Amino acid sequence: MKDNDFKKEILENRIAFRNGTRIDCILEIIRKLSETGEIVNTSYSVSTVLSVRDGLATIDTTQGKKIKKERELLRNQLTLF
C-alpha cells in the first residue's frame, strides 16, 4: 500500500475500513519473464485509492476526487486540430 493519504484518513477515522469493505484503486503489477518465456506476476501494490465501498455507500477519497476532476477537465478540453 503506497497511498499514504488513504492510510492517514483511516487512522484519523475519516474513512471506515473493515471486513467486507472494497476499494477502487490504481493497482501496480510487477511482472517478470520466467525461464520458460512465460510472464509471471511477482508483486502487487496499490498506488492510489480512488473510492471506498461499504455495502450501499460509496465514498470518494480526496485523491479519487482530484483524479476524477482531472479526467473530466481533460475530456472537456478542446483540441487544436
Tens digits of per-residue pLDDT, 40-69? 999 999 999 999 998 888 989 888 999 999
Is the pLDDT at 77 greater than 90? The verdict is no
Tell me if 54 is assigned to some domain. yes
Q: Are 52 and 21 in contact (CB under 8 A)?
A: yes
The candidate with the shortest Cα–Cα distance to 62, out of 27, 17, 10, is 10
Whether 81 maps to a domain, the answer reads no
pLDDT of residue 23: 93
Q: Is 59 a member of any domain?
A: yes
Residues of the domain holding 57: 4-76
Q: What's this model's pTM, rounded to 2 decimal places?
A: 0.76
Average pLDDT, the chain: 90
Between CA 44 and CA 42 the distance in angstroms is 7
Residue 80 has pLDDT above 80, yes or no: no
Give domain status of residue 22, yes or no. yes
Task: Kindly list the strands in the beta sheet with 22-33, ordered across the sheet, starting from the edge strand earlier in the chain.
Answer: 22-33, 39-54, 57-60
Number of domains in the chain: 1
**pLDDT band at residue 78 under the 50/70/90 scheme:** confident
The beta-strand segments (E) located in the chain are 22-33, 39-54, 57-60
